[in-house]
Structure 1
């Protein structure tokens, strides 16, 4: 592999001989770890050309380094950093290296991750929210991306609100599937829904603003709001979703700036907010002038009956900021999210996005727009919906067969996971901790609680694995349950606790 040019310089005003300057500079690179043991140094002619010195000067510097033990010469192959330099010698000569020094300034607190989202090799993942990347239409995306790259000016700066072509395509999608009436001026495309939430929080919140959230709920959003200076207040969730009466009580105690919720498939319980609560929420928001941040993270995956329209579809007061994503449809690595709101809100968000991220990947946005326009994305969603519905049912059946009595769950009408209540005598956290040792990864209910307090539930995602893999994952869950201190029930027999919602 061709190496980069060394950051060396010769100072003609330095009283030290040039040979010594070159040798000292290379030794300092080795000491700091920027040149690693065994790494090949530039040839004497190449380095002399770079430094503007005579080749004999570099040859003499290499000879000095060889004598000091910093390098080794391998005949006609070149000069290499010695593999035998002790770490202690490197520290004495040049310190611990810039990459290992402690900063000379204080760092602010950073949010601590709730739990790992990636399984180790050989571990089956039941983590929710991750699509099966084996189903991604890679060839279609690649063809569309290549065509987009040929567009004149596509690699230059663009609109921080996103490519108008993609905003138009997403608007048509939302009009057909969500009952919305957005035009490009009411949409902004972002690098995933997390950036959409970040920009929205920066634009809407000031330090000390009260933001109400669902609990249990999506902790990554809470961290975004806290980073913007907001005071995050949890509201209870029951079998119908967010308790709007609790939000109303909170507004009576003081000013509430916003409420964040996932009304279509509440995260993580998967329940759908019913019509009466939706109406009450929108009326309360209109009276109190509080922003409603609606996270519509997986609306495409609804399997039974008609999906419920989002809050933004019935928002005459203009209080709803609707956040969505294509990451669950395509792949998280593509980072395509969006915000739908009133045009003046979008203009404000775009200005905040300008100094946070400047703009997205213009070529990718044009490529995704083409996939929507050609119907490729719609066909992909239909294929995934059939696959995921089958996987949902396969996971439910495997849980009934192996873990009846340990878990109680309702089969959701949509989403990408099951929310399972654990039996009273089980420790959900201990069970989840034993999971990776048994070869399976899943979340305990405490990963979604506000203070990480124990919660008698498990979240089991089904989108990532095929039916056979789901059966094996449940078998490993039974092994983990036994290791956690309670033997699993018989593999057959017993009353099933699963029911269809």
Structure 2
């Protein structure tokens, strides 16, 4: 076995205990607190003697004592922690038990809900995530290997993000989304959620009032609250955020920011009307409110004319534009971005410098190469065709099997469908029974600001292929019929 270092603090001049007993006591303590676990190998006696600068016989005496007490066993010239430990271990002090289980000795705030993960064996109508089976890993891997050849990317870099990716994104946003931005007006962040977190910590002070859509995106609410915001829910209807209701909130005090998803509203998928967009921009400019526009799935618009982001028609400089490449590629890559005035980007970079400093420059260079070569744009067009076909499959299956139970307008774009459930149906019970049958459903309650039950289902169709969508709807119908 290769020698390894096993540090033990000895007190040869101050402790009355012999050194071998100090060694044995230290190993007992390490077993109690979980540093050493049943079956773990201890270092050889010669190796530990060299580490502690003691005679080998001292270490052997400590090992003999531990073995006699049942803490260790000697097997094949190696000493292991016993798999059947002595009963004394169960009488360890409360402090030692707390250390062994990883509990801190101080108070923590209650944890918030974590991100839901796809469960094996469940046909999950996920939250509008890309199908990871379709990620162009070969293209990405080749670009990543080439980026690794630039050793300067392995050092510290610009907190705003890799320059070539910012330049490529500036061209993309100009050509496809109508934004007049430069490389200096862009910041690369860890996904759209990381972008929002950075913006929130930069703009929001504890106690600031921030308006959010209701129903809306709970993960964004948690991020804004973590920055100290007091959230103000504003209702959404078939034309998006109700601007008149937003204006009424100003009577209770100023608003620092408004977080919204005007392109495909999360979760209802409605597109904010042109008239409301103009009113919102005017209201924000008059009251100096930052509009945090999360354009999370702009690439996937299937019907009608393209809708420009608010940032593309903002004459006042009030829009902070949040975007991501995660929906085109994969969420695990954490490639998001912020577009806004240069002064804002500099402030964001200053905040980032105080935390992680920068993102993954090698990955960002690889993404830049895919954008420069047009490969990412081509992949996005391919995914748009695939997701549109999946939406059509879902719509047909719902109308055929569940037309009596749900009503909906097929969305003009996006990666999910918002359905209204017949009020006579207990939607929460339906979702619970569907999960037992192998189908994961997201009910409207998950997106209501106050956690109230809503007669709605959000059906993300992008992660399931046509066969899986048909099977999921069949199971939904079977569960409902049996209930």
- Scaled to the shorter chain, the TM-score interval is over 0.9
1:81-480 residue pairs with structure 2 within 5 A?
81-86=81-86, 89-92=89-92, 95-96=96-97, 98-100=99-101, 102-113=103-114, 117-480=116-479
**Cα deviations by residue, 1:50-81 (Å, 9 ceiling, x for unpaired):** 222232222222111111100111134x1111
C-alpha contact (below 8 Å) 1:437/1:480 kept by paired residues: no
**2:152 aligned counterpart, secondary structure:** coil
Give the Å deviation of 1:211: 1.0
C-alpha contact (below 8 Å) 2:269/2:418 kept by paired residues: yes
Partner of 1:73: 74
Give the Å deviation of 1:31: 1.1
Partner of 1:498: none
Partner of 1:496: none
Whole-angstrom distance in 2 between the partners of 1:482 and 1:3: 66
Q: CA 1:463–1:51 in structure 2 vs 1: closer, same or farther (change >3 Å)?
A: same
Give the Å deviation of 1:335: 0.5
Partner of 1:55: 56
1:474-489 residue pairs with structure 2 within 5 A?
474-482=473-481, 485=483
Partner of 1:22: 23
**Cα deviations by residue, 1:222-250 (Å, 9 ceiling, x for unpaired):** 11112222111111111111111111222
Q: After the TM superposition, which of the residue ranges 437-446 and 97-106 deviates more from structure 2?
A: 97-106
Give the Å deviation of 1:3: 9.4
Whole-angstrom distance in 2 between the partners of 1:87 and 1:164: 61
Q: CA 1:17–1:336 in structure 2 vs 1: closer, same or farther (change >3 Å)?
A: same
Give the Å deviation of 1:101: 5.5
Give the Å deviation of 1:44: 1.9
Give the Å deviation of 1:205: 1.3
C-alpha contact (below 8 Å) 1:297/1:324 kept by paired residues: yes
Give the Å deviation of 1:358: 1.9
Give the Å deviation of 1:399: 1.1
Give the Å deviation of 1:168: 0.8
**2:354 aligned counterpart, secondary structure:** helix
Give the Å deviation of 1:218: 0.5
C-alpha contact (below 8 Å) 2:32/2:100 kept by paired residues: no
Partner of 1:34: 35
Whole-angstrom distance in 1 between the partners of 2:46 and 2:314: 72
**Cα deviations by residue, 1:433-488 (Å, 9 ceiling, x for unpaired):** 222211011200010000110111000011001110111111222233346x3xxx
Q: After the TM superposition, which of the residue ranges 139-148 and 474-483 deviates more from structure 2?
A: 474-483
Whole-angstrom distance in 2 between the partners of 1:46 and 1:307: 70
Q: After the TM superposition, which of the residue ranges 354-363 and 164-173 deviates more from structure 2?
A: 354-363
**1:260 aligned counterpart, secondary structure:** strand
Whole-angstrom distance in 2 between the partners of 1:96 and 1:46: 30
Q: After the TM superposition, which of the residue ranges 356-365 and 180-189 deviates more from structure 2?
A: 356-365
RMSD: 1.9
**Cα deviations by residue, 1:15-47 (Å, 9 ceiling, x for unpaired):** 322211221111111111111111122222222
**Cα deviations by residue, 1:131-190 (Å, 9 ceiling, x for unpaired):** 111111112212222222221232222221111111111111111110111111101000
Give the Å deviation of 1:2: 7.6
Give the Å deviation of 1:318: 0.2
How many aligned positions are there?
481
Give the Å deviation of 1:90: 4.7
- TM-score, normalised relative to structure 1: 0.92
**2:147 aligned counterpart, secondary structure:** helix
Consecutive unaligned residues in structure 1, runs of 5 or more: 486-501
Consecutive unaligned residues in structure 2, runs of 5 or more: none
Give the Å deviation of 1:419: 0.4
Q: CA 1:467–1:106 in structure 2 vs 1: closer, same or farther (change >3 Å)?
A: same
C-alpha contact (below 8 Å) 2:7/2:52 kept by paired residues: no
Partner of 1:7: 7
Whole-angstrom distance in 1 between the partners of 2:107 and 2:76: 50
Whole-angstrom distance in 1 between the partners of 2:477 and 2:69: 61
